[in-house]
Amino acid sequence: MQNKTVEDVFRNRSVFVTGHTGFKGAWLCLWLETLGAKVSGFSDEIPTRPSGYELMRIGNRIADLRGEISDQQALEASMHAAAPTVVFHLAAQAIVRQGFEQPFDTFATNVMGTVAVLEAARKVPSVEAVVVVTSDKVYENTGSPWAYRECDPLGGHEPYGASKAAAEIAVMTYQTREFHQAAGSANAPAVATARAGNVIGGGDWARDRLIPDFVRAISEGRDQEIRQPNATRPWQHVLEPLGGYLVLASALLENPEQTPPAVNFGPDQPDMPNVAAVAETFLSVMKAPETRVVLAEVTNSGEAKTLRVDSSLAREKLHWKPCWSATQAIEQTAKWYKAYLAGNQDMRAFSERQLADYRSETPVQCLR
């Protein structure tokens, strides 16, 4: 991968993306399109209205396939038809608070959905590499101020984090040669998991997420309450981990034996802003004086107050490192939503320009 760019790797390559209608999935599809990949997406529905997927007109240029991620037969049939060499698995129930409301569905989607993807991949001969996207919340969070590393114990004190940790354990089975031999797999693709931090960026309208909640408040001219204002998270722009996923997939294709089985992709800032600071910075850049931050400490949310991940492995083994600081990530996110709320922008063209800006600035040579 040292001498190849992501264009070299993905141009004219067939790629299968689950969760392509979601926030991260839409941006990944946009990036893959610009690289000249032949993209097929598999999702059950468009999760929000508005949506980045629709505003960026992703469905116009890819094969838009629909089905439940845990429907293994439908997924396998779609993957067979697409005949991809790379699979990016992003489909998930990704909202922490929804996990408390619907724990069974969260586990079913995040664990068995992952198993369905891996089952399809071992039965579709064209698949060479699978990147399973999990979360920074897979770690057993002890409240430690130290950043978690890939060798730290997995765990979960709430359904979302626990389901993602369980998905990681399921992946470990499909990473072993012994399993594929005993199961009589037709195919044994290289598989790795990607654990990203708290991702922000334009085109996200999921409920109970900080930035989308404030975008709704700004559009409605009202204040917005935040829970756990003092909590810190590894904030990063959506393009940061997506670049990491592309690098990881490239490594699995080019040198699977030397590629780590699980990789963190997070910011390298030692001190991350807390929730209140992110909200205030976002409102300042948005120039939205009619919306104020209302602090309401929630003591029984079940969510961790401190979370950091160590991305040294990605830096050492994949030569990946972040580009934009937390402040820059907030600014770039605000620019996207300001353009959208102004109502006079082609959001696909705007997103393409933002992606081009990121690629011109990233220190990761293969992403340029």
pLDDT at residue number 301? 56
CA dist 91 and 13 (Å) reads: 21
Please list the ranges in the chain whose pLDDT falls under 50.
Answer: none
- Residue 152 falls inside a structural domain: yes
Give bridge partners of residue 366 from the DSSP assignment: none
Can you say whether the dihedral through the CA atoms of 271, 277, 282, 284 is positive or negative?
A: negative
pLDDT at residue number 303? 61
pLDDT at residue number 300? 56
Exposure string for 73-105, b = 16+ CB within 10 A, e = fewer: ebbbebbeebebbbbbbbbbbbbbbbbeeebee
pLDDT at residue number 233? 86
pLDDT at residue number 58? 98
- Residue 148 falls inside a structural domain: yes
Which residues are CB-neighbours of 180 under 8 A, at least 6 positions away?
A: 122, 174, 188
- Residue 282 falls inside a structural domain: no
Instruction: Tell which residue, 309, 180, 143, 298, has the closest CA to residue 241.
Output: 309
At 215 the three-state DSSP class reads helix
- Residue 295 falls inside a structural domain: no
Cα dist from 73 to 77, 125, 188, whole Å: 6, 16, 19
Residue ranges making up the domain that contains 266: 6-203+235-271+303-326+346-367
Asked, as a colleague might, if the bond just before 50 is cis with ω within 30 of 0, I would say yes
Six-digit token string for 140? 């057993």
Can you say whether the dihedral through the CA atoms of 118, 119, 120, 123 is positive or negative?
A: positive
CA dist 202 and 226 (Å) reads: 20
- Residue 311 falls inside a structural domain: yes
CATH of the domain at 70: 3.40.50.720
CA dist 93 and 213 (Å) reads: 18
Pairing state between β 198-200 and 293-295: unpaired
Query: What is the DSSP annotation of 343-355?
Result: T-S-HHHHHHHHH
Place of tokens 């979360």: 135
CB 192 within 8 A of CB 252: yes
pLDDT at residue number 345? 87
Structural domains of the chain, count: 1
- Residue 190 falls inside a structural domain: yes
- Residue 266 falls inside a structural domain: yes
What phi, psi does 332 have (nearest 5°)? -65, -40
pTM of the shown model: 0.96
- Residue 230 falls inside a structural domain: no
pLDDT at residue number 73? 95
Can you say whether the dihedral through the CA atoms of 325, 349, 28, 287 is positive or negative?
A: positive
Q: How many CA atoms lie within 13 A of 321 on its CB side?
A: 11
Give bridge partners of residue 199 from the DSSP assignment: 236
pLDDT at residue number 263? 98
